[in-house]
Chain A
Amino acid sequence: MKSLLRGLVVITLCLFVFSCSSVNPWERGILAKPEMAWEPDPLVGQLQEHVYFSKEGSSGGYGAGGGGCGCN
């Protein structure tokens, strides 16, 4: 498991360090498409995160969280 995790970290770092090519602002039309957003539908994402947060043993990972709940 640890070797798998180390491998994923290395792959991510390689993507950051070696794969970047210069992209001019006027070449970013595709990156600006709505389907490229980190969270294409905020309300659906908010609902799913709340369900996973309250029904699974682990949570978080994508920034700040909200409050807890009495979900059981």
Chain B
Amino acid sequence: MSKKNNGISPALAALTTAAMALPGISSTVSAAVAANEPKLSLQISRYDEDSIPSGDADPNAGDRDRYEIDVLQVQFLYPVNEKFQITTGFVYDDMSGSSPWFVRPDANGDPLVVMSGATIDDTRYDYRVGAQYFGEKFTISPNIGYSKEKDYTAVFGGVQVDYEFPNKATSISGGVSVSFDEIDPTQEAGVVRVNNEDKENYTFFGTINQVINKHTIIQSTIGVSIFDGFLSDPYKQVFLPTGNLPDSRPDDRIQYTWSTRLRRYSELFAAAFHVDYRFYYDDWNVRSHTLDLGLHKVTESGWAFDTSIRYYTQTQADFYEPFYTQVRADGEYSSDYRLSPYGSIALRLGLSETIGDWTVKLGAERYISDKSYSIQSVDVENPALLDYTLFTFGMDYSF
């Protein structure tokens, strides 16, 4: 053994083996072995969108109060043996509130958002099962899932393969995922909506992980995602002087992403700095940049603290307008704020404490968006831009 390790003593070799068995290794440095023990995680959250400001909403239509969502998440990790583990997850969303319907000009030509006429109540159930097999060189991770709302069903799955190079400092991953979605919109008297539509999504990605030094690791991922089918929002319309039309988007979309994540541990602060960046581009001509900077600190007494700031900016889709003044030759229309040009800033705080087998966690996020945060100049801001607050409370129990 000492020959194979170039003169390393058996004691050092044993330490090496012990280090490689640390659970954190598997999530950062390399694929290794299954978790040491089963773990049950539970989280409840409250997602609360700000109401549309009175000056931005049509005073004669709809409710300015937007979505409130209560979320329950449960996840169970079960290591069958050192080579194989299973993860199951369940999510339940309870949603209520109004959503933007269309945008119309006021008497001065400024945009006003018209909200949906009645509060929408819906629930979403999401079930997922995944497995991980840890081979000598490869880790294989298949997963499947099912998501159901009143008017929306998705069946999805995928597989990821990780390979660790012999130098133990570099690993690569590749994967594919698919999703088959069906939408069956709730019908409303006097409103023209599609009856039943579907869409498909195929995502391919490749990742490289590299140990830079004993304090720093980096990961870079390239991905392509292909959407095909009904990609419009059946609950949205667009304003035209000749009368409203349904939201109508192209029936295919190809998205490209390049993301890089860096983790750097500072001995001075006894904390880890996180830097995440993502560049996004699609063939609807939406480009976005996302930069996330975080600080994560865990104390020896079991307390953990994390804080981060996320900056996001995107350009508009080719066919987007807040409202239309004339008919488009291609028949493509959308006034969805999600396809408008804007920027957003999110601030997050998290606190947790681990006592024995239990970990209790609290978190909060504040998200605000505005045209002035955009990296490009924006002439007309969509009045439905989103601000929200998110609170989370979670518990982990390791058996």
Contacts and interface: CB of A to CB of B under 8 A. Distances in A.
Contact of B179 (A41, A66, A72): A66
B345 interface: no
Contact of A19 (B145, B147, B208, B213): B213
Contacts of A26: 12, 15-16, 19
Given A47-B43, A67-B181, 5 more contacts: A25-B16, A64-B143, A64-B176, A66-B154, A67-B146
Given A23-B211, A29-B19, A60-B225, A70 B151 contact: yes
A62 B218 CA distance: 13
B168 interface: yes
- Among A9, A22, A23, A42, the one with the most B-chain Cβ atoms within 10 Å of its Cβ is A23
A38 B263 contact: yes
Contact of B155 (A23, A34, A67): A67
Interface size for chain A: under 10, 10 to 19, 20 to 34, or 35 or more residues?
Answer: 35 or more
B296 A43 contact: no
Interface residues of B, number: 113
B298 A28 contact: no
Contacts of A57: 286, 288, 314, 317, 338-340
Interface string B96-128: 000110000000000000000000001010101
Nearest to B32: A32
A51 B128 contact: no
9 closest A-B pairs by beta carbon, nearest first, are A67-B154, A70-B152, A64-B177, A61-B257, A32-B24, A35-B296, A61-B259, A67-B156, A58-B280
Contact of B235 (A44, A51, A69, A72): A72
B351 to A, nearest CB: 11
B333 interface: no
